[in-house]
């Protein structure tokens, strides 16, 4: 299981099966065809309110995390590796086409938006502003 699969498991539960760009057509971050409405790829997965799940997790953390905007904070909230190496692997897994050789805000912003888009695609109810 990849990093996105780990994210899915933390949010949806252990039975989550993530479909990533490897099994779906790639979407660019500004694509007008990028769906903001969830379109679950599995009829057995119930709709999950991502905002509710994440805010519930945030209540148990001492540190205030901006998980709604930051991929690093989202990974920290989920108790996953937020290092550059982990983010580079996630970028590759999700099909990021930019430079991943060093930390960049461009990659981090893209990663957060793409993770939110993928969560929506896999049956999550994600606030529209988290994907823009």
As a three-state string, the secondary structure of 36-104 is CCCCCCCCCCCCEEHHHHHHHHHHCCCCCCCCCCCHHHHHHHCCCCCCHHHHHHHHHHHCCCCCCCCCC
Asked whether residue 29 is domain-assigned, the answer is no
In angstroms, the Cα distances linking 6 to 15, 32, 101 are 11, 28, 23
Selected residue with higher pLDDT from 18 and 81? 81
Asked whether residue 28 is domain-assigned, the answer is no
Q: What is the pLDDT of residues 36-72, one digit of tens each?
A: 444 444 455 568 999 999 999 999 999 999 999 999 9
Write down the pLDDT at residue 13.
86
Which range of residues forms the domain containing residue 81? Answer: 3-15+48-130
Question: Count of domains in the chain?
Answer: 1
Model pTM score: 0.77
φ, ψ of residue 124 in degrees (nearest 5): -100, 145
Decide if pLDDT at 91 tops 90: yes
Average model confidence (pLDDT) across the chain: 83
């Amino acid at each position: 299981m990849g990093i996105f699969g780990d994210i899915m498991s933390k949010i949806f539960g252990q039975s989550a099966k993530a479909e990533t760009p490897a099994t779906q057509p790639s979407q660019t971050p500004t694509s007008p065809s990028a769906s903001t409405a969830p379109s679950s790829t599995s009829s057995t997965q119930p709709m999950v309110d991502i905002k509710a799940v994440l805010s519930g997790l945030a209540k148990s953390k001492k540190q205030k995390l901006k998980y709604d905007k930051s991929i690093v904070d989202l990974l920290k909230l989920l108790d996953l590796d937020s290092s550059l190496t982990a983010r580079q692997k996630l970028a590759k897994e999700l099909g990021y086409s930019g430079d991943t050789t060093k930390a960049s805000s461009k990659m981090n912003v893209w990663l957060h938006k793409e993770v939110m888009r993928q969560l929506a695609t896999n049956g999550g109810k994600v606030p529209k502003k988290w994907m823009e």
